[in-house]
Structure 1
Amino acid sequence: MPTDGPKNFNDVLPRGGFSGMFKVAGMPTELKVSYWIWLIGGLLALLGGLLGLFGSIVLFTLAPGIAVVVLLLVLIALVVAAAQIVFAMKMKEGKEWARLALTVVAGISLILSIVGGAMANGQSNNWFSFVISLIATVLMWLPNSQAWSKSVKGAV
Protein backbone atom coordinates (compact mmCIF):
# COMPACT_ATOMS: atom_id res chain seq x y z
CA MET A 1 0.00 0.00 0.00
CA PRO A 2 1.20 3.53 -0.67
CA THR A 3 2.90 5.25 2.22
CA ASP A 4 2.38 8.77 0.88
CA GLY A 5 -1.39 8.91 1.29
CA PRO A 6 -3.07 12.24 1.96
CA LYS A 7 -3.34 13.26 5.60
CA ASN A 8 -5.91 16.02 5.06
CA PHE A 9 -7.95 17.63 2.29
CA ASN A 10 -5.15 20.05 1.36
CA ASP A 11 -2.89 17.08 0.57
CA VAL A 12 -5.36 16.03 -2.12
CA LEU A 13 -5.45 19.39 -3.88
CA PRO A 14 -2.83 19.91 -6.61
CA ARG A 15 0.13 22.02 -5.54
CA GLY A 16 -0.11 25.51 -6.95
CA GLY A 17 -3.77 24.92 -7.83
CA PHE A 18 -5.05 23.98 -11.24
CA SER A 19 -2.78 26.50 -12.96
CA GLY A 20 -0.03 23.85 -13.05
CA MET A 21 -2.21 21.54 -15.11
CA PHE A 22 -0.15 22.00 -18.26
CA LYS A 23 3.34 21.85 -16.72
CA VAL A 24 4.96 18.49 -17.44
CA ALA A 25 8.63 19.44 -17.67
CA GLY A 26 11.02 16.80 -16.41
CA MET A 27 8.59 13.90 -16.55
CA PRO A 28 9.50 10.79 -18.57
CA THR A 29 7.65 10.49 -21.89
CA GLU A 30 5.56 7.49 -20.86
CA LEU A 31 4.35 9.29 -17.75
CA LYS A 32 3.54 12.43 -19.78
CA VAL A 33 1.43 10.34 -22.17
CA SER A 34 -0.34 8.66 -19.25
CA TYR A 35 -0.95 12.01 -17.59
CA TRP A 36 -2.45 13.54 -20.73
CA ILE A 37 -4.67 10.50 -21.29
CA TRP A 38 -6.04 10.71 -17.74
CA LEU A 39 -6.39 14.49 -17.84
CA ILE A 40 -8.11 14.69 -21.24
CA GLY A 41 -10.32 11.72 -20.33
CA GLY A 42 -11.37 13.44 -17.12
CA LEU A 43 -12.08 16.72 -18.91
CA LEU A 44 -14.15 14.93 -21.57
CA ALA A 45 -16.02 13.06 -18.84
CA LEU A 46 -16.79 16.39 -17.14
CA LEU A 47 -18.12 17.74 -20.42
CA GLY A 48 -20.22 14.61 -20.93
CA GLY A 49 -21.47 14.86 -17.37
CA LEU A 50 -22.56 18.45 -17.90
CA LEU A 51 -24.46 17.42 -21.03
CA GLY A 52 -26.02 14.56 -19.04
CA LEU A 53 -26.98 17.05 -16.36
CA PHE A 54 -28.90 19.14 -18.89
CA GLY A 55 -30.47 15.99 -20.32
CA SER A 56 -31.65 14.85 -16.91
CA ILE A 57 -33.21 18.26 -16.28
CA VAL A 58 -35.16 17.91 -19.54
CA LEU A 59 -36.14 14.37 -18.52
CA PHE A 60 -37.91 15.78 -15.44
CA THR A 61 -40.65 17.07 -17.73
CA LEU A 62 -41.27 13.61 -19.21
CA ALA A 63 -40.57 11.11 -16.43
CA PRO A 64 -39.71 12.64 -13.04
CA GLY A 65 -39.08 9.28 -11.33
CA ILE A 66 -36.53 8.17 -13.89
CA ALA A 67 -35.04 11.66 -14.02
CA VAL A 68 -34.11 11.48 -10.32
CA VAL A 69 -32.16 8.25 -10.88
CA VAL A 70 -30.48 9.64 -14.00
CA LEU A 71 -29.59 12.86 -12.18
CA LEU A 72 -27.99 10.92 -9.31
CA LEU A 73 -25.95 8.82 -11.75
CA VAL A 74 -24.83 11.92 -13.64
CA LEU A 75 -23.78 13.60 -10.40
CA ILE A 76 -21.75 10.53 -9.43
CA ALA A 77 -20.13 10.56 -12.88
CA LEU A 78 -19.24 14.23 -12.46
CA VAL A 79 -17.61 13.57 -9.08
CA VAL A 80 -15.61 10.65 -10.51
CA ALA A 81 -14.49 12.77 -13.48
CA ALA A 82 -13.36 15.59 -11.19
CA ALA A 83 -11.54 13.07 -8.98
CA GLN A 84 -9.81 11.61 -12.04
CA ILE A 85 -8.45 15.04 -12.93
CA VAL A 86 -7.19 15.61 -9.39
CA PHE A 87 -5.66 12.10 -9.27
CA ALA A 88 -3.87 12.75 -12.56
CA MET A 89 -2.44 16.00 -11.23
CA LYS A 90 -1.28 14.29 -8.03
CA MET A 91 0.25 11.46 -10.11
CA LYS A 92 2.23 14.16 -11.88
CA GLU A 93 3.59 15.15 -8.46
CA GLY A 94 4.85 11.60 -7.95
CA LYS A 95 2.17 10.49 -5.48
CA GLU A 96 1.88 6.72 -5.40
CA TRP A 97 -1.63 6.81 -3.92
CA ALA A 98 -2.81 8.76 -6.95
CA ARG A 99 -1.39 6.13 -9.32
CA LEU A 100 -3.18 3.47 -7.29
CA ALA A 101 -6.45 5.45 -7.42
CA LEU A 102 -6.16 5.80 -11.21
CA THR A 103 -5.53 2.06 -11.45
CA VAL A 104 -8.79 1.52 -9.55
CA VAL A 105 -10.53 3.88 -12.00
CA ALA A 106 -9.24 1.69 -14.87
CA GLY A 107 -10.57 -1.40 -13.05
CA ILE A 108 -13.98 0.22 -12.68
CA SER A 109 -13.87 1.01 -16.40
CA LEU A 110 -13.31 -2.71 -17.07
CA ILE A 111 -16.28 -3.66 -14.89
CA LEU A 112 -18.49 -1.10 -16.63
CA SER A 113 -17.38 -2.44 -20.02
CA ILE A 114 -18.29 -6.00 -19.04
CA VAL A 115 -21.64 -5.00 -17.54
CA GLY A 116 -22.44 -2.66 -20.43
CA GLY A 117 -21.57 -5.36 -22.97
CA ALA A 118 -23.79 -7.88 -21.20
CA MET A 119 -26.72 -5.47 -20.99
CA ALA A 120 -26.42 -4.29 -24.59
CA ASN A 121 -26.17 -7.80 -26.09
CA GLY A 122 -22.43 -7.44 -26.53
CA GLN A 123 -22.65 -4.05 -28.26
CA SER A 124 -20.90 -1.87 -25.71
CA ASN A 125 -19.03 1.26 -26.70
CA ASN A 126 -17.19 1.40 -23.36
CA TRP A 127 -14.44 -1.01 -24.47
CA PHE A 128 -12.57 1.78 -26.22
CA SER A 129 -12.42 3.87 -23.05
CA PHE A 130 -11.28 0.83 -21.08
CA VAL A 131 -8.45 0.11 -23.53
CA ILE A 132 -7.33 3.74 -23.37
CA SER A 133 -7.38 3.71 -19.56
CA LEU A 134 -5.50 0.39 -19.58
CA ILE A 135 -2.78 1.94 -21.75
CA ALA A 136 -2.55 4.94 -19.41
CA THR A 137 -2.35 2.60 -16.41
CA VAL A 138 0.42 0.49 -17.90
CA LEU A 139 2.39 3.61 -18.86
CA MET A 140 2.29 5.02 -15.34
CA TRP A 141 3.53 1.74 -13.81
CA LEU A 142 6.43 1.15 -16.21
CA PRO A 143 9.88 1.04 -14.54
CA ASN A 144 10.91 4.45 -15.91
CA SER A 145 7.73 6.04 -14.55
CA GLN A 146 8.14 4.35 -11.17
CA ALA A 147 11.77 5.46 -10.94
CA TRP A 148 10.77 9.06 -11.69
CA SER A 149 7.97 8.95 -9.10
CA LYS A 150 10.39 7.71 -6.45
CA SER A 151 12.93 10.40 -7.37
CA VAL A 152 10.45 13.27 -6.98
CA LYS A 153 8.82 11.94 -3.81
CA GLY A 154 9.06 14.81 -1.40
CA ALA A 155 10.83 17.04 -3.92
CA VAL A 156 7.69 18.40 -5.58
Structure 2
Amino acid sequence: MHEPETPQSNPATKNTYFDFTDYEFRMPQSWPKSFSAIKPSFRGGIGQIFQTSHMPMDARIGYWVWLIGCVLGILSWIFAVTAILFAIVFSPATLLMTGMVSFFGEVRWGVVLVYIGTMVISLLIILLQLLLTLKLRTGTEWARMALTGLTVIGIVYSIILTSADLESGGASTVVTGILSLLLISFFWMPKANAWFLQGNDHESLP
Protein backbone atom coordinates (compact mmCIF):
# COMPACT_ATOMS: atom_id res chain seq x y z
CA MET A 1 0.00 0.00 0.00
CA HIS A 2 1.36 3.37 -1.06
CA GLU A 3 1.82 5.68 1.91
CA PRO A 4 0.92 9.31 1.42
CA GLU A 5 3.93 11.58 1.15
CA THR A 6 4.55 13.72 4.14
CA PRO A 7 4.90 17.35 3.09
CA GLN A 8 8.34 18.61 3.85
CA SER A 9 8.54 21.73 5.92
CA ASN A 10 10.13 24.60 4.08
CA PRO A 11 13.19 26.05 5.79
CA ALA A 12 12.73 29.49 7.22
CA THR A 13 13.33 32.11 4.60
CA LYS A 14 16.42 34.14 5.38
CA ASN A 15 16.18 37.87 5.56
CA THR A 16 18.57 38.99 2.82
CA TYR A 17 19.33 42.18 4.70
CA PHE A 18 20.81 40.17 7.59
CA ASP A 19 22.21 37.17 5.72
CA PHE A 20 25.99 37.33 6.16
CA THR A 21 26.58 34.12 4.21
CA ASP A 22 29.42 34.65 1.71
CA TYR A 23 29.93 38.17 3.06
CA GLU A 24 32.90 39.81 1.35
CA PHE A 25 35.08 42.51 2.85
CA ARG A 26 37.72 44.32 0.87
CA MET A 27 39.56 47.59 0.85
CA PRO A 28 38.49 50.10 -1.83
CA GLN A 29 40.01 49.23 -5.20
CA SER A 30 40.71 52.88 -5.98
CA TRP A 31 41.03 56.20 -4.21
CA PRO A 32 40.43 59.72 -5.59
CA LYS A 33 43.47 61.41 -7.09
CA SER A 34 42.07 64.93 -7.34
CA PHE A 35 39.58 67.21 -5.61
CA SER A 36 37.21 66.95 -8.58
CA ALA A 37 36.98 63.22 -7.91
CA ILE A 38 36.13 63.88 -4.26
CA LYS A 39 33.43 66.51 -4.56
CA PRO A 40 29.93 65.32 -5.53
CA SER A 41 28.56 66.37 -8.89
CA PHE A 42 25.29 68.26 -9.19
CA ARG A 43 24.98 68.10 -12.97
CA GLY A 44 21.43 66.84 -12.58
CA GLY A 45 20.57 69.65 -10.19
CA ILE A 46 20.72 69.91 -6.43
CA GLY A 47 17.47 67.96 -6.24
CA GLN A 48 19.21 64.73 -7.26
CA ILE A 49 20.62 64.32 -3.74
CA PHE A 50 17.07 63.43 -2.66
CA GLN A 51 16.69 60.66 -5.27
CA THR A 52 17.64 57.35 -3.65
CA SER A 53 15.36 54.77 -5.31
CA HIS A 54 18.39 53.07 -6.90
CA MET A 55 19.93 52.28 -3.50
CA PRO A 56 19.22 49.13 -1.44
CA MET A 57 17.02 49.83 1.56
CA ASP A 58 19.73 49.57 4.22
CA ALA A 59 22.07 51.92 2.34
CA ARG A 60 19.15 54.25 1.69
CA ILE A 61 18.28 54.43 5.40
CA GLY A 62 21.92 55.09 6.27
CA TYR A 63 22.18 57.79 3.62
CA TRP A 64 19.13 59.70 4.86
CA VAL A 65 20.15 59.42 8.51
CA TRP A 66 23.64 60.72 7.76
CA LEU A 67 22.42 63.45 5.43
CA ILE A 68 19.95 64.80 7.99
CA GLY A 69 22.48 64.33 10.79
CA CYS A 70 25.15 66.34 8.97
CA VAL A 71 22.74 69.19 8.25
CA LEU A 72 21.64 69.25 11.88
CA GLY A 73 25.29 69.13 12.95
CA ILE A 74 26.10 72.21 10.87
CA LEU A 75 23.09 74.07 12.28
CA SER A 76 24.10 73.08 15.82
CA TRP A 77 27.64 74.32 15.17
CA ILE A 78 26.33 77.67 13.94
CA PHE A 79 24.05 77.94 16.97
CA ALA A 80 26.92 77.10 19.36
CA VAL A 81 29.27 79.68 17.83
CA THR A 82 26.53 82.32 17.83
CA ALA A 83 25.69 81.58 21.47
CA ILE A 84 29.36 81.90 22.47
CA LEU A 85 29.75 85.21 20.64
CA PHE A 86 26.58 86.62 22.20
CA ALA A 87 27.70 85.46 25.63
CA ILE A 88 31.07 87.18 25.21
CA VAL A 89 29.51 90.43 23.94
CA PHE A 90 26.74 90.70 26.53
CA SER A 91 28.52 88.97 29.41
CA PRO A 92 32.29 89.48 29.41
CA ALA A 93 32.46 87.25 32.49
CA THR A 94 32.07 84.35 30.04
CA LEU A 95 35.68 84.88 29.01
CA LEU A 96 36.72 84.47 32.62
CA MET A 97 34.61 81.34 33.14
CA THR A 98 35.98 79.69 30.01
CA GLY A 99 39.55 80.52 31.00
CA MET A 100 40.17 82.73 27.97
CA VAL A 101 40.87 85.65 30.28
CA SER A 102 42.70 85.44 33.59
CA PHE A 103 41.35 86.84 36.86
CA PHE A 104 43.62 89.86 36.32
CA GLY A 105 42.19 90.58 32.85
CA GLU A 106 45.02 89.11 30.79
CA VAL A 107 44.00 87.31 27.61
CA ARG A 108 45.15 83.71 27.55
CA TRP A 109 45.82 83.40 23.84
CA GLY A 110 46.73 79.75 24.13
CA VAL A 111 43.28 78.89 25.49
CA VAL A 112 41.61 81.14 22.90
CA LEU A 113 43.47 79.45 20.05
CA VAL A 114 42.61 75.99 21.41
CA TYR A 115 38.90 76.87 21.52
CA ILE A 116 38.99 78.33 18.02
CA GLY A 117 40.92 75.31 16.76
CA THR A 118 38.47 72.82 18.26
CA MET A 119 35.50 74.65 16.71
CA VAL A 120 37.17 74.78 13.28
CA ILE A 121 38.16 71.10 13.40
CA SER A 122 34.63 70.13 14.49
CA LEU A 123 33.16 72.02 11.52
CA LEU A 124 35.63 70.47 9.10
CA ILE A 125 34.74 66.98 10.32
CA ILE A 126 31.02 67.65 9.82
CA LEU A 127 31.59 69.11 6.34
CA LEU A 128 33.74 66.13 5.35
CA GLN A 129 31.07 63.76 6.62
CA LEU A 130 28.48 65.60 4.51
CA LEU A 131 30.68 65.45 1.41
CA LEU A 132 31.32 61.72 1.86
CA THR A 133 27.63 61.05 2.53
CA LEU A 134 26.70 62.69 -0.76
CA LYS A 135 29.26 60.51 -2.55
CA LEU A 136 27.71 57.39 -1.01
CA ARG A 137 24.55 57.98 -3.04
CA THR A 138 26.48 56.88 -6.12
CA GLY A 139 27.87 53.75 -4.47
CA THR A 140 31.38 55.11 -4.05
CA GLU A 141 33.33 52.41 -2.24
CA TRP A 142 36.19 54.61 -1.03
CA ALA A 143 33.71 57.13 0.40
CA ARG A 144 32.18 54.41 2.57
CA MET A 145 35.60 53.49 3.97
CA ALA A 146 36.58 57.13 4.42
CA LEU A 147 33.33 57.96 6.24
CA THR A 148 33.84 54.96 8.53
CA GLY A 149 37.38 56.04 9.34
CA LEU A 150 36.36 59.66 9.84
CA THR A 151 33.59 58.57 12.21
CA VAL A 152 36.05 56.62 14.33
CA ILE A 153 38.44 59.60 14.34
CA GLY A 154 35.59 61.91 15.35
CA ILE A 155 34.68 59.64 18.27
CA VAL A 156 38.30 59.53 19.49
CA TYR A 157 38.58 63.32 19.05
CA SER A 158 35.44 63.91 21.14
CA ILE A 159 36.73 61.61 23.88
CA ILE A 160 40.04 63.52 23.96
CA LEU A 161 38.24 66.88 24.19
CA THR A 162 36.01 65.59 26.98
CA SER A 163 39.00 64.18 28.88
CA ALA A 164 40.77 67.54 28.56
CA ASP A 165 37.66 69.41 29.82
CA LEU A 166 37.46 71.30 26.51
CA GLU A 167 34.05 69.86 25.76
CA SER A 168 31.25 68.73 28.04
CA GLY A 169 30.45 65.12 27.33
CA GLY A 170 30.87 62.28 29.74
CA ALA A 171 28.28 59.57 29.21
CA SER A 172 26.72 61.44 26.29
CA THR A 173 30.03 61.24 24.40
CA VAL A 174 30.07 57.46 24.79
CA VAL A 175 26.42 57.19 23.72
CA THR A 176 27.02 59.43 20.69
CA GLY A 177 30.03 57.33 19.70
CA ILE A 178 28.11 54.06 19.92
CA LEU A 179 25.21 55.58 17.98
CA SER A 180 27.57 56.81 15.25
CA LEU A 181 29.03 53.31 14.85
CA LEU A 182 25.54 51.83 14.64
CA LEU A 183 24.56 54.34 11.97
CA ILE A 184 27.67 53.69 9.88
CA SER A 185 26.90 49.96 10.02
CA PHE A 186 23.95 50.50 7.65
CA PHE A 187 26.45 50.82 4.80
CA TRP A 188 28.15 47.54 5.78
CA MET A 189 25.03 45.37 5.90
CA PRO A 190 25.05 42.46 3.38
CA LYS A 191 22.86 43.98 0.64
CA ALA A 192 24.42 47.43 0.96
CA ASN A 193 27.89 45.87 0.99
CA ALA A 194 27.17 43.89 -2.20
CA TRP A 195 25.90 47.08 -3.85
CA PHE A 196 29.08 48.99 -3.03
CA LEU A 197 31.25 46.11 -4.24
CA GLN A 198 29.53 46.21 -7.64
CA GLY A 199 31.42 49.40 -8.44
CA ASN A 200 28.48 51.77 -8.85
CA ASP A 201 30.63 54.90 -8.69
CA HIS A 202 29.22 57.20 -11.32
CA GLU A 203 27.33 60.51 -11.32
CA SER A 204 24.75 59.78 -14.03
CA LEU A 205 22.25 58.28 -11.61
CA PRO A 206 18.68 59.59 -11.66
* Partner residue, 2:75: 47
For the 8 Å contact 1:113–1:126, the answer to whether it is kept is: yes
Pair 1:79–1:118, CA change in 2 (3 A): closer
Deviates more, 1:1-10 or 1:76-85: 1-10
Residue deviations 1:28-65 (CA, integer Å, cap 9, x gap): 11101111222122112111221232244344853353
CA distance, structure 1, for counterparts of residue 112 and residue 79 of structure 2: 14
**Post-superposition shift, 1:116?**
6.0
For the 8 Å contact 1:37–1:132, the answer to whether it is kept is: no
Query: Identity percentage over the alignment?
Result: 26
Q: Does 1:9 align with 2:35?
A: yes
CA distance, structure 2, for counterparts of residue 53 and residue 118 of structure 1: 21
CA distance, structure 2, for counterparts of residue 68 and residue 124 of structure 1: 27
CA distance, structure 1, for counterparts of residue 138 and residue 201 of structure 2: 9
Q: Does 1:132 align with 2:179?
A: yes
Gaps in structure 1 of 5+ consecutive residues: none
Q: How does 1:7-156 map to 2 (within 5 A)?
A: 7-16=33-42, 18-58=46-86, 59=88, 62=95, 63=100, 65=109, 66-112=111-157, 114-115=159-160, 123-156=170-203
CA distance, structure 1, for counterparts of residue 68 and residue 33 of structure 2: 27
Gaps in structure 2 of 5+ consecutive residues: 1-26, 101-106
**Post-superposition shift, 1:98?**
0.7
For the 8 Å contact 1:33–1:136, the answer to whether it is kept is: no
Deviates more, 1:10-19 or 1:61-70: 61-70
TM-score by length of 1: 0.81
For the 8 Å contact 1:56–1:71, the answer to whether it is kept is: no
Q: Decide which structure has greater helix share.
A: 1
Deviates more, 1:52-61 or 1:88-97: 52-61
**Post-superposition shift, 1:93?**
1.1
CA distance, structure 2, for counterparts of residue 75 and residue 109 of structure 1: 13
